[in-house]
Structure 1
């Protein structure tokens, strides 16, 4: 499984319907699980992003489909970062020679 960090912001529509946000999160968790992935952590945040999620998915294509499905709901916009765990970070740096 690959780990991704999703930076999430409410759209105007999402902010207007913020009380429905927990239901939308539950639906997103189920949707990702149905695609073979999972939420590892979720945070309401202050600052540049409204929320941050740490998720896992089988591959980039699955996560891309998930992000597009979220976008079609119209309540959030996402930015996704592919995350490399520490062991991969060390392997990458070591491979530099």
Structure 2
């Protein structure tokens, strides 16, 4: 399984309807589960992003489906970052020629 960080910012619509966030979070977790994405952690953030999700999924296509399904709700803009474990990092660096 691969790890990802989903950096999220609210749209104007998302801010106007912020009180619906608890139900949207539940709906997002349900979507994630149906698509084979596990939300490992979620954080409220201050600064450039409003909240950050740590995801685990089998591949980029699965994450793309999840991110696009979130986008259709109109409440978020996202940036997806692929993460590599320490072991993966060492393997990558050791493979440099």
Q: What is the Cα-based RMSD across aligned positions, in Å?
A: 0.8
Aligned partners of 2:44, 2:23: CA distance in 1, in Å? 15
1:19-58 Cα deviation digits (max 9, x unpaired): 1112111111111111112100000000000000000112
Report what 1:23 is aligned to.
23
Once the two structures are superposed, the pairs formed by residues 8-87 of structure 1 within 5 Å of their partners are 8-87=8-87
Give me the whole-angstrom Cα distance separating, in 2, the residues matched to 1:73 and 1:17: 12
Deviations 1:49-78 (A, max 9, x none): 000000011211111011111111000111
Q: In the alignment, is the contact (CA less than 8 A) between 2:10 and 2:77 conserved in 1?
A: yes
Structure 1 length-normalised TM: 0.96
Q: Distance in 2 between matches of 1:88 and 1:58?
A: 15
Q: Which runs of 4+ in 1 moved over 2 A?
A: none
Unaligned 5+ residue runs, structure 2?
A: none
SS in 1 for 2:96: coil
- TM normalised by structure 2 equals 0.96
